[in-house]
Amino acid sequence: MGVPAAGGSRRGVLATTAAAVFLLLVLCGCGAPAAMAAAAGGGGGEQYLYKDPRQPLNRRIDDLLRRMTLAEKIGQMSQIERENATADVVRDYFVGSVLSGGGSVPAPQAPPEAWVKMVNEMQRAAMSTRLGIPMLYGIDAVHGHGNVYKATVFPHNVGLGCTRDPELVKKIGAATALEVRATGIPYVFAPCVAVCRDPRWGRCYESFSEDPKVVQQMTSVISGLQGEIPASGRRGAPFFAGQRNVAACSKHYVGDGGTASGINENDTVATFHELLGTHMPPYYSAVIRGVSTVMVSFSSWNGVKMHANHFLVTDFLKTRLRFRGFVISDWRGLDKMTSPEHADYITSVKLGILAGIDMVMIPYTYTEFIDDLTTLVRNGTIPMSRIDDAVRRILRVKFTMGLFENPYGDPSLSGELGKPEHRELAREAVRRSLVLLKNGKDGEQPLLPLPKKAGSILVAGSHADNLGYQCGGWTITWQGQGGNNLTAGITILDGIRRAVDRGTEVVYSENPDAGFVRRNAGRFDYAVVVVGEPPYAESFGDNLNLTVPAPGPSVIRNVCGGGIRCAVVLVSGRPLAVEPFVGAVDALVAAWLPGTEGQGVSDVLFGDYEFTGKLARTWFRSVEQLPMNVGDAHYDPLFPFGFGLETQPSTA
């Protein structure tokens, strides 16, 4: 080889060197993108600024965005279901995100290692694409990592709101983040910051309160999930503390808790002023806390589907509130814009993307979405500027999360799942969430706290020994399920048995008849009756009568009317119609949906800890009063907002 001449021949030598490096890397088995990056300076050179973590965030985004084809951009806007996310699909369609729907798991009772392996395999496919843009895996974790076997299941938000303790909720967010990270997942569809104004709504238990101020306080869970944004943090910009945190998602924007008659996905009829005053405040707090993503609601506002509402999504959330993260649709949210569903899909895609949705949850019909959106861009219906805005927001979150530097799950975190410290935190949350509604009949001594030392006690009811009923929906499966075999935990009956004196006999009868109670009335010192709702989620939980499900009322009548002093523990996702029997019981406890740590209930029943919970929602007398919320002119509750009797710890 001769000595190069002066001038332009130097570029020829560099080009020859780069080509040689590229060829060598290809021959040794390195992928073409990696080879190109290495030839251009190891990813840190001027050619590939987006690969260099030392570069400013916006410079990295700009550099990557200008390199992307339309297909790669639309791929980033697509979120598909785990079942469909084979390596080929992720690679060929440049899929930007994958999710697990409720109950979608790699295998029944899969350990953390199986989750990490699954997520990492998908990630390897994403990283092998031309530009190596990491995939973002998301999952519902609305009360702990509920999809996963042996995870800690915390009380649902309806109970956490009764604690009035933002710091406790922040700790729960941090614990949840660790358990989610234990399975290799960096993104959760939580928290729900709905302001539930009607308990007939099947998602009311996902709401912290009917009061927007309480919900705002509880957005502290975002700081637990993502990490605490510093005082110098930029308002509206997504924040992420590190690899032990997860990206959060405030949902469902906006007004999902205000639909007519509490019907899920229905219309919220309200003036803009009313919307701002009641349903929007939690989003102010979420944006200030640096929430990474916002999910759009299935519901409508004054007849306009939220998934098509440009004013609220783009003009208000993105422009007025200066939210810089990305907006994601709900599950098949574009399909549900028409009735019947999917009737005019290409129009739904057009309206949704133009409204400002950045990432679309298309679990199954992703090829149709990709084809339709490509057509809409190529024919000029959707401008490239809108696509670039969406992708810029998605990339901003991914860069902020450090996904480009740390794309893979960490198997060493597997011990975080269900660890004792998290279960103890959940047990504390149960104690703090319980609301004591009644304690003693008129003229009689309070029943609670119960004495641990007794001859014999009766425990009855369908929910006393049923872990699945305690946990409610969004636990292992989407709708939840009954039984004690679905995951690890302690039932309320187990907690009672652990709490009482060793010499106290505990007799459990799920559904005792009146004859049994009458014959044994003198035998039992007292009874604990645990009844409530079966698990449900979303529309399956819509309920226009809100009565205590059978056989709950008959168990209460048989036990509490049979001459035994009784405490009734109600396990439910919302207030239920209890006025018909509240006079017959000695004590009434709202336990909400406490999760896996049933011992938190017995902790308070037996006086190891005091009752402190306060109602975060109004307890109605009859459903005919609904909707009824604190501050209404016709306010006449059975138990008002903020009510909750207190006890002192037992000294016995």
Q: Which residues are catalytic?
A: 330, 538
Nearest alpha-carbon partner for 181 in 378, 25, 406, 379: 406
Instruction: Please name the residues in contact with 83: beta carbons below 8 A apart, sequence gap of 6 or more.
Output: 104, 363
Phi, psi (deg, nearest 5) at residue 506: -110, 115
Instruction: Please name the residues in contact with 42: beta carbons below 8 A apart, sequence gap of 6 or more.
Output: none
Instruction: Please name the residues in contact with 81: beta carbons below 8 A apart, sequence gap of 6 or more.
Output: 98, 99, 100, 101, 104, 363, 364
Instruction: Please name the residues in contact with 485: beta carbons below 8 A apart, sequence gap of 6 or more.
Output: none
**What pairs with residue 459 in β-bridges?**
508, 528
Instruction: Please name the residues in contact with 262: beta carbons below 8 A apart, sequence gap of 6 or more.
Output: 196, 197, 198, 199, 200, 201, 202, 204, 542, 626, 627
430/434 Cα distance (integer angstroms): 6
- Name the residue type at position 594: P
DSSP state, residue 313:
I
Nearest alpha-carbon partner for 199 in 627, 595, 637: 627
78/135 Cα distance (integer angstroms): 10
529/509 Cα distance (integer angstroms): 10
Per DSSP, the residues of 94-133 read T--EEEEPTT--SSTT--HHHHHHHHHHHHHHHHTSSS-P
Q: How many CB atoms lie within 10 A of CB 581?
A: 17
Phi, psi (deg, nearest 5) at residue 588: -135, 125
By the 8 A CB rule, do 569 and 286 touch?
A: no
199/189 Cα distance (integer angstroms): 22
